Amino acid sequence: MLDLSDPQTALLLSVLRNAAALSRAVRAETKPAGLTKGDLSPVTVGDFAIQAMVARRLHDAFPAIPLVGEEDSVDLRTDNGAAVLEAVTWHVSRFEADATPEAVCRWIEMGGSDTGDRFWTLDPIDGTKGFLRGGQYVVALALVENGVAVLGGLACPGLDPDGTPGAGAVVLARRGEGAWSAPLDNPGAAWQRLGVSACTNPAQARMMRSFEAGHTNPGQIDDIARAMGITAEPVPMDSQAKYAALAAGCAEIQLRLLSPTRLDYKEKIWDHAAGALVLEEAGGRVTDLYGAPLDFTRGRMLTANTGLLATNGAVHDAALAAVRQVLEKV
């Protein structure tokens, strides 16, 4: 069992529970439309508010450990961002009594640190489009040391601890100590250890699919499924919630191929650090499409990697072979 009295683990758990509560409040009480970033992905009040709150708490507890976060406050400081900043500040003030617009911007900017030997990395709302439409999303936070995620967690407001859609779960993992889940809203509930599916037959594997087709290459994923002989219906899910579901044995394969419109795309470290650790500690395996481990030493993006393959481990080599077969035809 994880040592929940460890200061970093205790802070991680507290931050994830509070961030999930903040995200739910935003979705329930605010029209969660925000600005639009240069990459055209929506940015919500929740993204900014969670990063501000989490950054402030991490800095207060561990000021020597920098934070690499997804958001920045540049657009919030413009006239067009004034209304969003007001809403962000109001939501943050419910958790941080001294929140002001200037303080909120300053806290968000704490996430602009560069990577190094030791840092936190945060995705305040992973699966923003799922969040906007009422689907799956997570808050993802991980501690990376010397290029390896050593502690991480996912707050999953739309999953149960067994990885199926439900009332909310929090999932924690520490390198070498397993992956564990518990109800999000019941701090006194027992934790259960997660373990991947025991499926060893590639043809019987279940593949997780994103709702957002623009994030990957659906046609090639279909080709890979055929090459593996997979006949099971795919399991649709947004965000790093897929890692939690894989870790709980609800499916066997997750793929992230390059979209035909974004062939130079590189994954962001905050999109995978926490989720990959959870899956690996549950017995799974995570690599890029060519079998290389994820490299968190290259800055804010996984520039040394191409795409993603995450599995229960037992079908990983078969999946890599199918990926190679399909990609070689391009």
Active-site positions?
47, 128
- Report the DSSP pairing between strands 138-145 and 207-209: unpaired
HSE, side-chain direction, 13 A CA sphere, residue 326: 23
Whole-angstrom distance, CA of residue 222 vs CA of residue 203: 13
DSSP string, 200-216: --GGG--EEE-S-GGGS
DSSP assignment string, 8-40: HHHHHHHHHHHHHHHHHHHHHHS-----B-TTS
User: What's the CA gap between 205 and 256, in Å, rounded?
Assistant: 16
The answer to whether residues 234 and 208 touch, using CB atoms and an 8 Å cutoff, is yes
Alpha carbon distance 137, 120 (integer Å): 20
Q: ∠97-17-197 over CA atoms, to 5°?
A: 165
- Grouping H, G, I as helix, E, B as strand and the rest as coil, residue 59 is helix
Strands 179-183 and 192-193: antiparallel
Instruction: HSE, CB side, 13 Å, CA atoms: give it for residue 78.
Output: 6
- Tell me which residue has tokens 């992956």: 179
287: its two tokens = 């690599």
Query: For residues 275 and 74, what is the distance between their CA atoms, to the nearest angstrom?
Result: 28
